Amino acid sequence: MVNSQVTDAVTQTNVTVLGESPSQSMGLVYQSMAQSISLLMQNGVSTQGGMQQINAAVIATACREIMAGPQPAPPRPAPAPEQAPQGNVVIDYRGDTTIAELVAPAPGASTGTSPEPKEELGVKTSEDVEIT
């Protein structure tokens, strides 16, 4: 026969193991969940840091593009001066249009042209042509 004290000790040990096992199981579940959540948070922080680096690079590139944007075109050269018209010029301003008319030269004023060049080029005037 077995001593009653030994039987009581084994029984108490079994009861203790069976009584503590649910709490130990739940403790393991809580520790596993805590580690999973902490890894999730760590990954979130790492991802956010990476996005901040991308954001800084995009802003730097955009600023560089803005600063190196299209340069203004060089100024156009001044147009060549036109020949001054012979005679008097009358300018009539109407709205946004300008009408310039060449008026007959003042009496005694030189027109700057002579008949000799026309004759040299063989240009005929109305006086040279006979109408039949």
Long-range contacts of 39-43 (CB under 8 A, 24+ apart): none
The secondary element (H helix, E strand) that includes residue 92 is strand 88-94
Tell me the pLDDT of the chain averaged across its residues: 75
Q: Record the tokens describing residue 37, joined without a space.
A: 């959540």
pLDDT tens sequence across 32-44: 999 999 999 999 9
pLDDT tens sequence across 48-86: 999 999 999 999 999 998 888 887 788 888 777 776 556
Residue owning tokens 């000799």: 116
Q: What confidence score (pLDDT) does residue 32 get?
A: 96
The closest alpha carbon to 87, from 96, 72, 100, 97, belongs to 100
Burial zone of 50 (CB within 10 Å; 0-12 exposed, 13-18 middle, 19+ buried): exposed
pTM of model > 0.75: no
Question: Helical H runs in the chain?
Answer: 4-67, 115-121
